[in-house]
Amino acid sequence: MALDFPDSPQIGDSFTSPSGVTYTWDGIKWVGQVYIPVGPPGYVGSQGSVGYTGSIGYTGSEGVGYTGSEGYTGSQGSIGYTGSEGYTGSRGQKGDTGLGFTIAKTYASVALLLADTSPTGITSGQFAIIDTGSTDDTDTAKLYLWDGTVYTYITDLSGATGIKGEIGYTGSTGAGYTGSAGADGYTGSAGIGYTGSTGAGYTGSAGVDGYTGSAGTTGAIGYTGSAGTGGVGLTNVDGGSPTSVYGGVTGIDGGGPI
């Protein structure tokens, strides 16, 4: 009689027939497994005589198992429906105005700030800043936020160090000009002396000796005159012996200065 195997088996499912044969589903077919009961072992018989060697048997043809047909692909399930769009929630009420940026306290060092665990004059949300008094100190301008319980470091307000500027160029050497040479002074014209006529004097009689006059008073010291401009020099003429020089003019013919 035909066996009534289960429908839609899974790999590894088993089925035992009424005759006691167990079958297992390997994904393609049911494979039977026959159980043969094992009896008690028999006694060992006496060793028989050595038989003759039989002829070599022929090689049987290679068995070819068939490949089962590929199972069909199940149909695609229907696409689920798109849910309706949720409603927009109501607008929340406007929050309270936050605190503005306020630096409420200044400390001389970070250590003093951290040591002040119950600061006064500052509320939650306000700031404290470090001012060590030196711009070279790395703690100067550090900003901390007070949250009502503890200070929290926020940033450094000192900013980054600026880039070093380039070295300026060396200015060009000034070129002073040499003034033009002054004009040559002019040469004065040569003085023209005239030759006087020979005097025709007679020799007078010797006069009586005059008396010696009384000494005159000493005259006041004269002031020093300003330097005169260069005049035209006149040379004495006719072998005269000048007796004095006045204003750069030499007397002529033995006479006094002109």
- Choose the most confident range, by mean pLDDT, from 35-44, 50-59, 200-209: 50-59
The pLDDT tens digits of the residues spanning 60-118 come to 777 666 666 777 787 787 787 788 888 888 888 888 787 789 999 999 999 999 999 99
3-class SS string, 51-69: CCCCCCCCCCCCCCCCCCC
C-beta of residue 205 within 8 angstroms of C-beta of residue 213: no
The pLDDT tens digits of the residues spanning 169-203 come to 787 776 666 767 777 766 656 655 455 455 454 55
pLDDT of residue 191: 53
21-35, 152-166, 241-255: the lowest-pLDDT one: 241-255
Instruction: Output the pTM of the full model.
Output: 0.30
pLDDT band at 49 (very low <50, low <70, confident <90, very high): confident
Between 250 and 124, the more confident residue is 124
Say whether pLDDT at 124 is over 50.
Answer: yes
pLDDT band at 251 (very low <50, low <70, confident <90, very high): very low
**CA nearest neighbour of 247 among 231, 226, 224:** 231
pLDDT above 70: percentage of residues in the chain: 62
Residues 6+ apart with CB under 8 A from 132: 108, 109, 139, 140
pLDDT of residue 114: 97
Distance CA 23, CA 36 (A): 15
Say whether pLDDT at 244 is over 80.
Answer: no
C-beta of residue 154 within 8 angstroms of C-beta of residue 145: yes
Assign 143 to helix, strand or coil. strand
Say whether pLDDT at 239 is over 50.
Answer: no
When the pLDDT of each residue in the chain is averaged and rounded to a whole number, the result is 75
Distance CA 157, CA 103 (A): 12
Alpha carbon distance, N-terminus to C-terminus of the chain: 187
pLDDT of residue 241: 47
pLDDT of residue 110: 97
Phi, psi of 112 (to 5 degrees): -65, -35
Long-range contacts of 231-236 (CB under 8 A, 24+ apart): 232/188, 232/189, 232/191, 233/188, 233/191, 234/191, 234/193, 234/258, 235/191, 235/193, 236/193
**CA nearest neighbour of 193 among 230, 232, 248, 229:** 232
The DSSP secondary structure of 196-212, one letter per residue, reads PPPP----PPPPPPPPP
pLDDT band at 249 (very low <50, low <70, confident <90, very high): very low
